[in-house]
């Protein structure tokens, strides 16, 4: 028989999981104003809020931490990281930052000005936040297939080349800060972008004289999907695929908390020394000197090691396989989720799960609350609440997809935990008709409201 795909690691250290009763959770979520970000971690049993910074580091990463060089300038840890970034991405210049949004902040301080447009494929919320904060506009040019939760497109995160070219054709290039391609496309469901799509986007970026930046948080998962799904890549190494992806870009922002399997960290990669120089000034203001930028030496060491571990094919295959295992369990129970399954998460389709709850009552958040109270599983709403209000009209935005994301931390949970999660959601699904009402907002921040919003059950 064909041998199953296994995790290419074993467990050396364990951490306690907290259990609780339904009654306790009902009280806790009420005290948290029905915002799952307000829960204490002890109040959560299986935490699928995010795959960001929640991964388990390896023995090699922990050993690298002991060898960290904490010199303010020119630390060996910086050079070690520089070498790893050059090797894996091909970028000659880089700046460390404390996380991904900090990389966005530094780079956009150079690139984005008031009135600009930033076309791309479903910008992540902090990315959009940094763009809108500068009074510029993020223009979503993702392919239409991405808005359909059941259409089976192997690269559902792709940029719609026609939409992009239309925008580039009808606007002066000085008005376009850059084209921003997010791999994998988190907001559209952890969906990959194909190599041929990146190539097409690059052609347009050169034709119209606009920079192409890759938001690379999950670049290794994207490379793995290219290997598994795109013609001509089956025999290529993940790192060769990654280098090819980055060869089409002028720069990258990275949240190292995802595919580089560290708990904190980020960086910016640059092809052009001039852009690197300009960004360096902002790095010094916002993050720290250019050879540490908000990271300690030990963390840069762990990151350098994590970049290699995160680009191992066997690891990536087992990870993507675990996510798909949860997806197929849910499917077996008749629970609607976005397909194909994402690289880092399963996205439950709240519109089909709770069709009787109107969008104004935030069915995604309502479902996330129910899943938490049922079994202590914490996911996150990716829908109207997260989409914020339109910065000009101040009206609620209602994106096509209304989802609850179950993001799987790297190397943390077993398939047994996935069975538990699926059982919890099945129980909610079986009583879905008893969930009569959604929620309303009591207080919200003017931007990125979902992190701090206070809610009330209707």
Our answer to whether residue 124 is catalytic in this structure is yes
User: Among the options 217, 279, 345, 387, which is catalytic?
Assistant: 217
**Which residues in this chain contact ligand F0G in the complex, by CB under 6 A?**
50, 52, 99-101, 124, 126-127, 182, 186, 215, 217, 255, 257, 266, 407
Ramachandran assignment for 97, one of left (phi > 0), alpha (psi -120 to 50 degrees), beta (any other): beta
Q: Which residues of 348-386 are buried (b: 16+ CB within 10 A; e: fewer)?
A: bbbbebbeebebebbbbbbbbbbbbbbbbbbbbbbbbbb
Our answer to whether residue 258 is catalytic in this structure is yes
**Taking the chain, what is the end-to-end CA distance rounded to the nearest angstrom?**
53
- Strands of the sheet containing 266-270, edge to edge, are 93-97, 266-270, 251-255, 212-215, 179-182, 117-120, 137-140
Shortest reach from residue 364's CB to ligand F0G, in Å: 15
Rank residues 257 and 411 by Cβ distance to ligand F0G and give the closer one: 257
Shortest reach from residue 328's CB to ligand F0G, in Å: 23
Instruction: List % helix, strand, coil for the chain (3-state, nearest 5).
Output: 45, 15, 45
Q: State the residue number with the nearest CB to ligand F0G.
A: 100
Our answer to whether residue 9 is catalytic in this structure is no
Shortest reach from residue 407's CB to ligand F0G, in Å: 6
Shortest reach from residue 100's CB to ligand F0G, in Å: 2
Q: What SS3 state is found at 229?
A: helix
Rank residues 257 and 298 by Cβ distance to ligand F0G and give the closer one: 257
Our answer to whether residue 225 is catalytic in this structure is no
CB neighbours of 262 closer than 8 A, spacing ≥ 6? 53, 55, 57, 61, 256, 299, 302, 303, 306
Rank residues 51 and 349 by Cβ distance to ligand F0G and give the closer one: 51
User: Among the options 18, 72, 398, 451, which is catalytic?
Assistant: 72
Our answer to whether residue 219 is catalytic in this structure is no
- Count of positions (residues) in the chain: 458
Strands 212-215, 179-182: pairing is parallel
Shortest reach from residue 218's CB to ligand F0G, in Å: 7
Considering only CA atoms, which of 309, 315, 289 is closest in space to residue 63? 309
Shortest reach from residue 266's CB to ligand F0G, in Å: 5
Rank residues 43 and 52 by Cβ distance to ligand F0G and give the closer one: 52
Query: How far is the C-alpha of 176 from the C-alpha of 137, rounded, in Å?
Result: 10
Our answer to whether residue 450 is catalytic in this structure is yes
Rank residues 127 and 337 by Cβ distance to ligand F0G and give the closer one: 127
Rank residues 94 and 429 by Cβ distance to ligand F0G and give the closer one: 94
Hey, which residues are catalytic here? 72, 124-125, 215, 217, 258, 450
């Amino acid at each position: 028989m064909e041998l199953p795909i296994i995790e290419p690691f074993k467990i050396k250290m364990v951490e306690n999981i907290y259990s609780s009763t339904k009654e306790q959770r009902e009280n806790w979520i009420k005290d948290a104003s029905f915002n799952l970000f307000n829960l204490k971690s002890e109040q959560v049993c299986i935490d699928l809020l995010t795959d960001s910074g929640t991964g388990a580091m390896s023995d090699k990463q922990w050993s690298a931490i002991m060898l960290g060089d904490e010199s303010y300038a020119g630390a060996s840890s910086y050079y070690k990281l520089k070498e790893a970034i050059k090797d894996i991405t091909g970028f000659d210049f880089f700046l460390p930052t404390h996380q991904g949004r900090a990389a966005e902040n530094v780079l956009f301080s150079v690139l984005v000005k008031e009135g600009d447009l930033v076309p791309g494929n479903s910008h992540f919320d902090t990315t959009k936040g940094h763009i809108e904060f500068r009074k510029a506009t993020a223009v979503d040019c993702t392919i239409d297939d991405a808005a359909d939760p059941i259409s089976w497109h192997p690269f559902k995160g792709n940029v719609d080349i026609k939409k992009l070219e239309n925008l580039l054709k009808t606007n002066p290039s000085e008005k376009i800060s850059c084209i921003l391609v997010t791999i994998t496309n988190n907001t559209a469901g952890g969906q990959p972008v194909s190599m041929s799509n990146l190539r097409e986007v690059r052609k347009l970026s050169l034709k119209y004289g606009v920079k192409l930046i890759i938001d690379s948080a999950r670049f290794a998962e994207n490379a793995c999907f290219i290997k598994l799904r795109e013609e001509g890549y089956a025999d290529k190494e993940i790192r060769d695929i990654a280098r090819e992806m980055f060869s089409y870009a002028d720069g990258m922002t990275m949240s190292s908390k995802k595919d580089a399997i560290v708990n904190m960290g980020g960086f910016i990669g640059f092809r052009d020394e001039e852009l690197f120089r300009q960004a360096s000034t902002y790095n010094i203001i916002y993050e720290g000197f250019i050879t540490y930028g908000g990271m300690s030496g030990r963390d840069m060491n762990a990151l350098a090691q994590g970049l290699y571990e995160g680009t191992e094919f066997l690891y990536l295959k087992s990870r993507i396989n675990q996510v798909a295992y949860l997806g197929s369990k849910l499917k077996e129970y008749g629970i609607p989720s976005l397909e194909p399954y994402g690289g880092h998460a399963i996205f439950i389709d709240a519109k089909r799960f709770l069709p009787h709850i109107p969008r104004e009552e935030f069915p995604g958040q309502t479902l996330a609350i129910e899943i938490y109270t049922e079994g202590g599983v914490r996911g996150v709403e990716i829908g109207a609440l997260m989409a914020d209000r339109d910065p000009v009209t101040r009206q609620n935005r209602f994106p096509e997809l209304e989802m609850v994301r179950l993001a799987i931390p790297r190397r943390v949970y077993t398939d047994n935990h996935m069975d538990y999660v699926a059982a919890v959601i099945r129980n909610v699904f079986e009583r879905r008709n008893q969930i009569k009402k959604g929620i309303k907002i009591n207080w919200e921040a003017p931007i990125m409201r979902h992190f701090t919003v206070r809610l009330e059950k209707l």
